[in-house]
Amino acid sequence: MTNTKESPQTHFRSRLDIPNGQVDLSHGGGGRAMAQLIEDLFRHHLDNPLLRQGNDQALFGPVRGRLVMSTDGHVISPLFFHGGNIGSLAVHGTINDVAMAGARPLYLAAGFILEEGLPLADLERIVIAMAEASRAAGVPIVTGDTKVVERGKADGCFITTTGVGEVPEGIHISGELAAPGDAVLVSGSLGDHGIAILSRRENLGFGTDLQSDSAALHGLVADMIAAVPDIHCLRDPTRGGMAATLNELAAQSGVGMLIREAAIPLKPEVRGACELLGLDPLHIANEGKLIAICPAERAATLLAAMRAHPLGQESAIIGEVTQDPQRLIELETPFGGRRLLDWLSGEQLPRIC
């Protein structure tokens, strides 16, 4: 594999017909068609020095801190939605999983499962979105893989991304560190991503201008750590929403939590759509929000740091960690009553991330 800054026409007689072409089985067959797809589309848009090495792996230098690695499969339907597409989502999702350890994301790898018949123009839109998201985040895609399956064996495009990051010395953030008395914070309004996806599903018959909150959160996390290095837990509430995330953290730490419902940020569009469809917004996935748990005496400082960042302006303190061997999440309603906030039962919104 040679320098991708060379014109593809130096290797192929004609350019890939992206406006009119479709993915076919030859694009995953390991021959000339696959090589041209990689060169004309993937390398053309994702170009960076490590990808340009052209090997089956990316060779990079040593890092200073501890390493973290995370991988995530993305099978969202539809592929395109208000606020992004599967490409940008795949980049943001894995960057966020790495960042939730307090790490600085360094590199991404991407694996594509493409369905025969996918328009090349759609694939290019997806790859351009990945390129823009990774460059905006400063986290390059340095290696990848492409497979093509027969028509009807997938849903256009599935993407798996893997990320590597480094954790600065002195930072220890993990799901088992929540302690009774800690404060629970959220970085903004919940349910935006899930409702944005739901609005695009043809068989549900309602529309909204609500956009997905898909975003890379590592910059917000860096500012939070700079202000409060002793954050105990960070997690992005994706599948299963805030309810699943809080139950996960409570189970890991062996604690309970008391959450004040009135303090949880929710957009009117999300609240209205959930009331219409009988959904609980606290079970709906997010792709650009995080839950933070820190010592109570540091909560005001952390909240100020979060609100000073563009992705944390709607941050709020929503509750506290409690001593509870049953590890229950209690939700205090605006009327003073309490109900349990349990795990999602079944699948509320399939394939939204």
Smallest Cα–Cα separation from 88: which of 198, 211, 235? Answer: 211
Cα angle: 242, vertex 85, 246; to 5 degrees: 10
Strand runs (DSSP E) across 220-271, as ranges? 233-235, 256-260
Q: What is the pLDDT along the chain (353 residues), one digit of tens a residue?
A: 333 344 444 567 678 999 999 999 999 988 999 999 999 999 999 999 999 998 899 999 988 889 999 999 999 999 999 899 999 999 999 999 999 999 999 999 999 999 999 999 999 999 999 999 999 999 999 999 999 999 999 999 999 999 999 999 999 999 999 999 999 999 999 999 999 888 877 555 565 678 999 999 999 999 999 999 999 999 999 989 999 999 999 999 999 999 999 999 999 989 988 998 889 999 999 999 999 999 999 999 999 999 999 999 999 999 999 999 999 999 999 988 999 999 877 766 667 78
Helix (H, G, I), strand (E, B) or coil at 99: helix
Give the pTM: 0.93
Helix (H) or strand (E) segment spanning residue 142: strand 141-149
Could you count the other beta carbons within 10 Å of the beta carbon of residue 201? 16
Q: How far is CA 94 from CA 97, 162, 224, in A?
A: 5, 6, 19
Q: 194 and 204 in contact (C-beta within 8 Å)?
A: no
| Distance from chain centroid for Cα 115 | 23
Beta bridge partners of 329: 257
- Among candidates 81, 75, 79, 145, which has minimal Cα distance to 108? 145
Residue pair 15/57 in contact (Cβ under 8 Å)? The answer is no
3-class DSSP assignment, residue 286:
coil
Measured distance CA(353)–CA(346) in Å, rounded: 16
Interatomic CA distance for residues 305 and 318, integer angstroms: 16
Q: Is 346 exposed, middle or buried (0-12, 13-18, 19+ CB in 10 A)?
A: exposed
Q: pLDDT digit string (tens) for 295-334?
A: 999 999 999 999 999 999 999 999 999 999 999 999 999 9
**Torsion angle of C-alpha atoms 120, 121, 126, 130, degrees rounded to 10:** 100
Output the six-digit token pair for 244: 């699943």
Give the residue among 196, 245, 236 at the shortest CA–CA distance from 218.
236
Using DSSP bridges, classify how beta strands 157-167 and 104-115 pair: parallel, antiparallel or unpaired: antiparallel
Give Cα separations from 173 to 63, 103, 328 (angstroms): 19, 9, 22
